Structures are given as C-alpha cells and as structure tokens.
C-alpha cells in the first residue's frame, strides 16, 4: 500500500508500506506486489508461509461470517489464508505460494521458503 496522503507523483520507496505490518519498503527488505499496489514484505510472508503451509493454520472466518478478500489478488478467500495480526488484511494460500516463489527466485535477496523445523 502507499502511505496515506502522499503525492503519488513523487512517491519514494519509503512511501510504500507492507499492507500487513505497515513496514516501510527499504532496499534491505524485499516486498512482493499484488493488485492495486498492495505489498507484502518478506517477514510477513515468512510468517504467512509458515502458518499456512507448515502449520496448516487457517485464518479465514467461518463461511457464516462476512467473506474476506485477499489483499493481494482481491478475490474472495476460499482456501486457507493468513491474517495480519495487526490489521484486517488477508492473504490467500495461492498468493502466499506465488509471492514465496517470486521472492525465492530474486537473486538480490537470500530469501528461502521456510522449511519445517527439524
């Protein structure tokens, strides 16, 4: 996401924030972009990947409650998902997997998909 109230014509890197933890984008922290300027940083992605793929946790509310929309792909969540602990933002399993693949291939960062604890 962009920092609220900035001039998009003169947006700087630090005006872009992770939607899930509101961490500023810096050269040291890789981020993966979703639709409409949504962003997830590597640390949120690590937690999301661990929760959903390794621990099989599912943050999606029961179908009886309002549906949640994935912040990155803007689709209604029908698969297991991860919710930001601090904000009402969800990321679906598909987007976690996609973002993790993008990040793992980025040669500038030594990010790897979390693996199960041994």
Interface contacts to Zn ion, rule CB under 5 A:
18, 20-21, 23, 41, 44, 70, 72-73, 92, 95
Q: Which is nearer to Zn ion, 4 or 7 (CB)?
A: 4
Q: Which is nearer to Zn ion, 52 or 92 (CB)?
A: 92
> 72 forms bridges with which residues in the sheet?
none
Of the candidates 72, 89, 90, which has an alpha carbon nearest to the alpha carbon of residue 81? 90
CA angle 34-93-112, nearest 5°?
80
Cβ of residue 93: shortest distance to Zn ion, in angstroms? 8
Look up tokens 């790897």; give the residue: 112
Look up tokens 């998902």; give the residue: 81
Cβ of residue 92: shortest distance to Zn ion, in angstroms? 3
Cβ of residue 9: shortest distance to Zn ion, in angstroms? 25
């Amino acid at each position: 996401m962009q920092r609220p109230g900035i001039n998009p014509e003169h947006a700087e890197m630090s005006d872009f924030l992770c939607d899930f933890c509101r961490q500023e984008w810096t050269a040291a922290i890789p981020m993966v972009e979703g639709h409409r300027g949504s962003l997830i940083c590597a640390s949120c992605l690590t937690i999301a990947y661990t929760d959903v793929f390794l621990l099989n946790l599912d943050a999606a509310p029961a179908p009886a409650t309002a549906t949640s929309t994935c912040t990155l792909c803007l689709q209604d969540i029908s698969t297991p998902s991860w919710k930001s602990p601090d904000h009402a933002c969800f990321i679906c399993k598909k987007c976690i997997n996609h973002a993790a693949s993008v990040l793992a291939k980025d040669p500038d960062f030594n990010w790897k998909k979390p693996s199960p604890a041994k």
